[in-house]
Structure 1
């Protein structure tokens, strides 16, 4: 602990932390739970409501901004990182946790992470993550469809610093939930790259559920990546290019969970930069195929190789 709300870790990247998929997001999520547990003096891993039912610190919004050196799919075995985390109060049933993943040799000070660094002046070599978590519990023991917001009685947050209102993601995430997109219009300087692409995904109970029987938050990243890979293949892009993609910015909003047997419909819209053809944004919405219920929204900005980042449908 650096102070009552901050932690610092020296991390050696292990095989279970890096890939072309969702492993790093799962690791960052684990750091969030550890940080909240330490800062809020709450057993996050075994929390209970006042009625004695399991309470879960769910992910409502996950935002990652990649750097030139550290970016989501650019890590490999043995890389050394200095990971700095800080927890902020965000109401009585939620928290915001910020992380900075810096190359260990960068020599940044072991000090509490200033939110202005993440939102206004990020270091170009570092990866930053923003996690907005809310406490939830099942309304019915056998269903993931009706989850209520409820915090455990021992959740201690009053001593945490407050995130400045100007940095709050509430409006951004609320708009994404209402419209099904992080982009109300085409991003500035980008144009549509072909028609929308729609595919289905059947929930994989052997891979997508966590130990509590809920759809694992990192599985949403994998599901969106599966849909994006299908788009890339339809454009004639090879799998090796997909694995080399550099994620500059990725946002995921979590608006629902699902039960085993669920089938999702994922719609992908793409934009690309005319001035810089290697820059592309994918805007994705995931819905329950049976009910049309919005489950999650993702926005991914990719800096790729201009030789394969084409705009053809």
Structure 2
């Protein structure tokens, strides 16, 4: 029996029909993948993650610490449209402490795949070329007296990950994310095989309280994608590229390490570095660092590889 994209089911897969609320040239798909992550964690851990509380009774949030998406030939982040049909498979793993990691595979609905639990070896070593893969590394946090800028790691009441399988250490993103947070970039010296194209490019962005905050008053995890895309679009404009070219881009790999949150009124600087691949025309990579302008506090880092179609 087919299920809707919001149904919780014991089956490792669900059938999804792409709706207007989950596809665009922006962050809608990432938001939906995040919703699937919360659903999967709730199902795997037997708790309502949306209403989680600390032992002191304060709200606890399953915050995104790292979000990585790899686009396939057929399914890629900005390549979906109304009515496309997908088979979405998700699996949650224990990562120690108050952390979990959830793996997702978005496959064309008509692609022949085994009806089995998602194997990390497939995700990290042998992906199906037509599929999109996502990994979400989440930690439980709660606000402190300093608001959005002072989130503390917590363990909410009722959270139990003892029965979750443990992700093999060789696949853990902890070291990668830690290095990116420390350096303020995923590729401080540039991605392997790429050559630098020009100097750095910096833009400013003011936090938009209409678009960028969620219902809890925190910066919405998917809005980080929109903010980085806004900066990337400005870089494209500086190169003489058009909006139409931007909308036709094909994202093959994108990752965000979430370092902090911000309060309404925050102004950010986003510094971009761009590289080209000499052997793959149209293939380029951009590293971006989002900082709070007033304090120079690092908020997030992003790396994106794109096929520009040129």
> What is the TM-score when the length of structure 1 is the normalising length?
0.95
Q: Give the match for residue 77 of structure 1.
A: 82
Find the partner of 2:188 among 184, 188, 213: 184
In the alignment of these two chains, the number of paired residues is 303
Instruction: Give the Cα separation in 2 of the matches to 1:157 and 1:18.
Output: 32
Deviations 1:64-97 (CA, angstroms, capped at 9, x unpaired): 0000000000000000000000000111301000
Helix, strand or coil for the counterpart of 1:21?
A: coil
CA contact (8 A) 1:197 1:267 kept: yes
Checking the alignment, whether the CA contact within 8 Å between 2:86 and 2:109 is kept in structure 1 is yes
Checking the alignment, whether the CA contact within 8 Å between 2:52 and 2:157 is kept in structure 1 is no
Residue 290 of structure 2 contacts residue 301 of structure 2 at CA under 8 Å; is this kept in 1? yes
Measure the CA separation in 2 of the matches of 1:67 and 1:305. Answer: 15
Secondary structure (helix, strand or coil) at the match of 1:300 reads strand
Once residues 147 and 157 of structure 2 are traced to their aligned partners in structure 1, the CA distance between those partners, rounded to angstroms, is 23
Where has structure 1 moved over 3 Å in runs of 4 or more? Answer: none
Partner of 2:153: 149
Could you give the per-residue CA deviations for residues 124-172 of structure 1, whole angstroms, max 9, x where no partner exists?
00000000000000012x6100000002121010100010000000000
Matched, 1:240 2:244: yes
Q: What residue number does 2:5 align with?
A: none
Choose from 44, 48, 52 the match for 2:57.
52
Q: Work out the CA distance in 2 between the residues paired with 1:86 and 1:161.
A: 9
Contact 1:2–1:112, Cα closer than 8 Å, also in 2: no
**Partner of residue 309, structure 1:** none
Q: Secondary structure at the match of 1:82?
A: strand
Give ranges in structure 1 of 5+ residues lacking alignment.
307-313
Alignment counterpart, residue 33 of structure 1, candidates 38, 49, 66: 38
Q: After the TM superposition, which residues 135-284 of structure 1 pair with which residues of structure 2 at under 5 Å, given as runs?
A: 135-140=140-145, 143-284=147-288
Q: CA deviation at 1:2?
A: 7.2
Q: Give the SS at the match of 1:176.
A: helix
Secondary structure in 1 aligned to 2:86?
A: strand
Does the 8 Å contact 1:7/1:35 carry over to 2?
Answer: no
Greater CA drift, 109-118 or 79-88 = 109-118
Give the structure-2-normalised TM-score. 0.96
CA distance in 2, matches of 1:164, 1:74: 31
**Distance (Å, rounded) in 1 between the aligned partners of 2:309 and 2:187:** 24
Measured against aligned partners, the alpha-carbon deviations of 1:22-72 in whole angstroms (never above 9, x if no partner) come to: 000000000000000000111101000000000000000000000000000
Answer whether contact 1:2 1:110 (CA < 8 A) is retained: no
Q: Which residue of 1 is the match for residue 4 of structure 2?
A: none
| RMSD (Å), alpha carbons | 1.1
